[in-house]
Structure 1
């Protein structure tokens, strides 16, 4: 298939496991252009299992792990088939799928660092009849890197502005920033929680998967003592490169705070929102003091309370959605994994060592071919 006319699909379910984002992409002058996209919902029972495992609330035996891997792969395949149908695209028109999978663990430190994303790529390839590229993070970890974040190269490609410093802020379950420096340097890291803790607290106390427009947080008041205790977590003071996930910032982490029992659920939610906003703002102030604007993407752009607080804390910098630059904030990550799949097939690196801390550029991902 001629790559100039080929289509690619990117798939990802983020830390919040709030759905599988699927993006259909064509590359024009090596830049991805979004043609169609959708978010495919998780079955409630499967999402509950994913979150329990990702939050270290349960242990899986090998049989249960294997079944979960396949079940997630089936859902990723269903998302792909729905995207193909909705966009009137045939499998034959798609060169490859880049599947990030679902992260269950991310522990890039210690004697045996590892990162674990599941969603059987062979199942996706078999159901969709399209080659799949998956397992993007482990090569970077093997090379001494964090394996994350992997989006900064695409941020630079789509949102860089020579001569001025911009920050791209991804507000998923975890927040990460990409600093696009005026001199062309690109670096970035995970700043800490974005939506993940707020989503989990909202689900527990309101039975809702997320805090729509921050209404739950707006009903409470920030508790300065709890906020100070949460911001004292050593992760926030670590220098980059660094990355984190739900296995660190989860409800059990929050529940270590004895003050929690003295506060209303709404006050805790307000404090969690402030934690997300404050940790992002602190990171920008420290690592991109000359930035003139912050371009936000990810699910958090739809939380008006969070965006308003970020705008206040980051003044005089402008805080805008990437939509203002013609980049869909909901599907930028999925587009990036389509790009990573193409990089793998072209034999080109997908990581930025200045971001992840790897010993050098690495070709990322493994190819799972579809049957003829």
Structure 2
């Protein structure tokens, strides 16, 4: 039994699963839980994506607060399943990414795994990205080998994760597993919605649906960002795609300031278009797209994806794994891979020199 915990780029909460895992067998989820990110902690984690005063102390305190939220999530999973800490082999806890600069040889995930081990009474596996980066890789995305293990099929398919950032896994029979980030998913949509509606996200894309896509702005956003044209392996995060990125590009546009709802509609199309462009360029033969992450619950975004991809788009629920559980389950699987000493880093995905065992152990 393993617990997987994930708080993603959207910084909206923690998802957790308790699962039975055995090599070569499908995972069995015994319990799941989601806790909202407290507003003050969310604000601090977002602020720590940029340099600021006393950031080392602030980062340490935020990491401790996050570990306590992780521990609360783990406790809920144990309560829901009637199990005790001694029944669980390990917790896989990703932490909160606040810097991701593999081009400079580092990546930073705020976490306090020693505190989590102390609070939960369970061994903790954390720091999954660093070894891959040390081996010359991007350290991301981490989930393609897990997607291959549970979603592989006789036909070519793509598994798309829509968190703050979008990443895609390309699965084809007899071919190496491939995967990479495609660009922003919810990070800009959420930021723009928070600024103008004071809401954490655009529920079901209703605000975007009230606006219209501004084709010149869309083309400027895509053409004006060199990252989109980079070949895989590649990864990104809030270091690049943030509200400052958007504000700079809006300021450079000619003509009157666009209506906020039109910008939201355009950002939604940006997510769908950049995903479609990436899949078409890397795997035009893909016929099925399955979506996980928070974006899978946005009906308007799912329709945009189907329009841009010109293919059926379904949540991973259709494959038996609820979209909201996939990433947490992936970190339970990564913890299992670590304890079994199985390499979970894929050079074809991250560009590392060779497969590496990912993670570091904090015994209870």
The TM-score by the shorter chain falls in which range? over 0.9
Shift of 1:32: 2.1
Matches for 1:174-323 after TM superposition, within 5 Å: 174-232=165-223, 233-257=225-249, 258=251, 259=253, 262-315=257-310, 317-323=311-317
Shift of 1:303: 0.6
Q: Is the 8 A contact 1:76 1:119 kept in 2?
A: no
Cα distance in 2 for partners of 1:216, 1:59 equals 36
**2:32 is aligned with 1:37:** yes
* Structure 1 stretch displaced more, 298-307 or 26-35: 26-35
Unaligned runs of 5+ in 1: 1-6
Q: Deviations over 1:24-81 (max 9, x none)?
A: 1101444322221111111111101111222x27454322222122111111111111
- Structure 2 gaps of 5+ residues are none
- Are 2:128 and 1:136 equivalent residues in the alignment? yes
Aligned: 1:103 with 2:103 = no
Native 8 Å contact 2:92 2:331 kept in 1: yes
1:294-333 per-position Cα deviation (integer Å, ceiling 9, x unaligned) = 1111110111111001111111x22111111111111111
Report SS of the residue matched to 1:342.
helix
Change (3 A) 1:215 1:254: same
| Length-normalised TM-score, structure 2 | 0.96
Distance 1:220 1:59 in 2: 39
- State the distance in 1 between where 2:52 and 2:218 align: 28
CA distance in 2, matches of 1:195, 1:235: 17
The normalised TM-score by structure 1 is 0.94
Displacement of 1:365: 0.6
- Residue 53 in 1 paired to residue 48 in 2? yes
Q: Distance in 2 between matches of 1:207 and 1:96?
A: 38
Matched ranges for 1:19-168 at <5 A: 19-28=13-22, 29-54=24-49, 56=50, 58-110=52-104, 113-162=105-154, 164-168=155-159
CA distance 1:33–1:59, shift in 2 (3 Å): farther
